[in-house]
């Protein structure tokens, strides 16, 4: 049995609560958050605390709090020499206060409040200061998914930059596409098959081989027409920057 204290009440805390609760070999002994919020409607009131001094003993303290709060929250934990992990993609493990045995439990996925996830498909990146804790984190991860990776803080930081391009930036581009459709009375759904095929294709062949469009073809008049159409300065700048990046990636072939 692995005993967990889960700190935080945001998106990751709620998804981890659901995933941990579903495992008979994991017990969530307590949750901490500033507002005393329950992480699930069926959670017992007494298992949530707002008080660091009343934290119970556990095998792992999982801090699912904002990146900037990791150092502060870890320093509020009054005990020493217990395994305390954060869930961030980019914060170094050493940010956790040195009185603890430090570790990381980073689920590499995008989590929102309103969407559910299948944890079995999610890679979890783990790191720990000592081998015994690494084995325990491996065991915890393996109860949720078969994709557990031992990744150093340096590798995780690089991975997180890649993830920002793969998810956060593409999502923002989808947002722009949605806005352009809305502004011109076109249903965004008309782009769904294209978006779906874009994702399906880069899993089958490399993203570099999958590139199409006016930038790679260097269709100069189409590129000009598109830019004249974009009245929003930020959208036009993004269009120009990405067009330039595509052209320089394939420059030798044009
Ligand atoms: N969302 C994702 O897709 C995702 C994916 C992988 C990893 N992560 C990582 O998971 C961690 C949590 O992210 P999230 O998306 O769950 O964030 P979130 O939904 O914004 O929740 C942040 C949580 O941190 C708490 N918090 C902030 N400052 C605090 C402080 N000074 N003391 C105590 N609690 C504090 C907030 O408490 P209040 O409610 O009281 O403000 C809230 O419960 C971050 O390290 C993030 O990088 C997120």
Distance from Cα 137 to the centre of ligand 1, integer Å: 20
In 18-164, where do the E strands start and end?
26-32, 48-49, 60-63, 83-86, 101-107, 124-128, 148-150
For residue 108, which atom of ligand 1 is closest to its CA?
6
The tokens for 193 are 């098959």
Q: Which residue has the tokens 């804790």?
A: 133
Query: Rounded to the nearest 5 degrees, what angle is found at the Cα of 131, between the Cα atoms of 72 and 124?
Result: 65
- Which pLDDT score is estimated for 254? 46
Residue 21 CA to its chain's centroid (Å): 20
Distance from Cα 12 to the centre of ligand 1, integer Å: 7
Q: Is 138 left (phi over 0), alpha (psi -120 to 50) or beta?
A: alpha
105-121 burial code (b ≥16 CB/10 A, e <16):
bbbbbebeeeeeeebee
- Split at pLDDT 50, 70, 90, the class of 251 is confident
For residue 34, which atom of ligand 1 is closest to its CA?
40
The tokens for 236 are 């036009």
For residue 107, which atom of ligand 1 is closest to its CA?
6
For ligand 1, whether the C-beta of 241 sits within 6 Å is: no
Tens digits of per-residue pLDDT, 101-149?
A: 999 999 999 999 999 899 999 999 999 999 999 999 999 999 999 999 9
Distance, CA of 156 to CA of 251 (rounded, Å): 31
Nearest-Å Rg of the Cα atoms of the chain is 22
Residue 25 burial (CB count, 10 A) = 11
- Split at pLDDT 50, 70, 90, the class of 206 is very high
Pair 37, 13: CB distance under 8 Å: no
Angle between helices 220-229 and 233-249 (to 10 degrees): 160
Pair 153, 28: CB distance under 8 Å: no
Tens digits of per-residue pLDDT, 25-44?
A: 999 999 999 999 999 999 99
Rounded to an integer, the average pLDDT of 182-188 is: 97
Distance from Cα 110 to the centre of ligand 1, integer Å: 13
Distance from Cα 199 to the centre of ligand 1, integer Å: 28
For ligand 1, whether the C-beta of 159 sits within 6 Å is: no
Q: Which residue has the tokens 């000592």?
A: 130
Which residues neighbour 218 within 8 Å (Cβ) at sequence distance 6 or greater?
Answer: 247, 254
pTM given for the model: 0.93
Distance, CA of 56 to CA of 44 (rounded, Å): 15
Task: Report the residue among 12, 89, 90 best suited for mutation to probe ligand 1: largest number of ligand atoms under 8 A from its CB.
Answer: 12
In terms of DSSP bridges, do strands 26-32 and 48-49 run parallel, antiparallel, or are they unpaired? parallel
The tokens for 238 are 């993004």
Distance from Cα 69 to the centre of ligand 1, integer Å: 8
């Amino acid at each position: 049995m692995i005993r967990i204290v889960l700190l935080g009440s945001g998106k990751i805390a709620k998804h981890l609560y659901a995933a941990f609760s579903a495992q008979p070999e994991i017990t969530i002994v307590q949750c901490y958050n500033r507002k005393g919020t329950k992480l699930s409607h069926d959670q017992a009131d007494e298992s949530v605390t707002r008080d660091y001094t009343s934290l119970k003993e556990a095998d792992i303290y999982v801090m699912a709090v904002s990146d900037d709060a990791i150092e502060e929250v870890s320093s509020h934990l009054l005990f020493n020499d217990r395994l305390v992990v954060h869930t961030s993609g980019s914060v170094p493990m050493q940010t956790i206060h040195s009185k603890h045995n430090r570790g990381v439990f980073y689920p590499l996925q995008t989590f929102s409040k309103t969407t559910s996830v299948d944890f079995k498909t999610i890679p979890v990146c783990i790191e720990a200061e000592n081998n015994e804790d690494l084995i325990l984190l491996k065991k915890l991860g393996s109860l949720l998914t078969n994709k557990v990776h031992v990744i150093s803080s340096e590798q995780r930081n690089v991975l997180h930059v890649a993830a920002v391009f793969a998810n956060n930036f593409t999502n923002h581009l989808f947002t722009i596409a949605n806005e352009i459709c809305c502004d011109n009375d076109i249903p965004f759904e008309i782009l769904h098959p294209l978006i779906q095929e874009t994702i399906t294709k880069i899993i089958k062949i490399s993203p570099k081989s999958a590139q199409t469009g006016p930038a790679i073809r260097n269709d100069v008049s189409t590129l000009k027409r598109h830019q004249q159409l974009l009245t929003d300065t930020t959208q036009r700048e993004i269009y120009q920057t990405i067009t330039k990046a595509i052209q320089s990636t394939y420059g030798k072939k044009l």
